[in-house]
């Protein structure tokens, strides 16, 4: 369905104009910084970047108006929306926990012993 009414958007238009003007002002500021004695190529990069932001604001407003006048077609209710099998990577299955390494078994036993001693110390100390 296409809307035949023209909507007035003065606040949104003002926001886009102020935003784009601000971006262009920042581009000018970065350009003057680049031309100064303390300027470098980072300032030049920013001077080229800010006009792209201004252009994006105008483009986003244009797309907003176009989508409002003619929204994209909604998918039908009977369309398949599931992810096809094999599209996503498979989950790795965890390796079985084997204590085949004697050094690892000894280290884990040592850690368990230390944790038990800490728990006993906490029980013996009176809480204040």
Burial class from Cβ neighbours inside 10 Å (0-12, 13-18, 19+) for residue 86 reads exposed
Mean pLDDT to the nearest integer, 74-87: 77
| Alpha-carbon torsion (116, 121, 127, 128), positive or negative | negative
The predicted model scores a pTM of 0.53
Residue 4 has a pLDDT of 56
8-39 pLDDT tens trace: 789 999 999 999 999 999 999 999 999 999 98
Residue 22 has a pLDDT of 97
Q: Cα angle vertex 108, ends 106, 112, to 5°?
A: 115
The rounded percent of the chain whose pLDDT value lies above 90 is: 51
């Amino acid at each position: 369905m296409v809307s035949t009414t023209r909507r007035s958007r003065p606040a949104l238009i003002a926001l886009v104009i102020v935003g784009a003007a601000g971006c262009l002002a920042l581009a000018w500021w970065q350009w003057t910084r680049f031309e100064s004695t303390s300027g470098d190529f980072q300032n030049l990069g920013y001077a080229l970047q800010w006009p792209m932001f201004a252009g994006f604001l105008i483009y986003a407003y244009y797309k907003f108006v176009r989508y409002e006048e003619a929204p994209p077609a909604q998918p039908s209710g009977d369309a398949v929306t599931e992810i096809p099998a094999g599209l996503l990577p498979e989950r790795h299955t965890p390796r079985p926990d084997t204590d085949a390494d004697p050094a690892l078994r000894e280290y884990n036993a040592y850690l368990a012993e230390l944790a038990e001693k800490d728990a006993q110390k906490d029980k013996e100390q009176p809480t204040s």
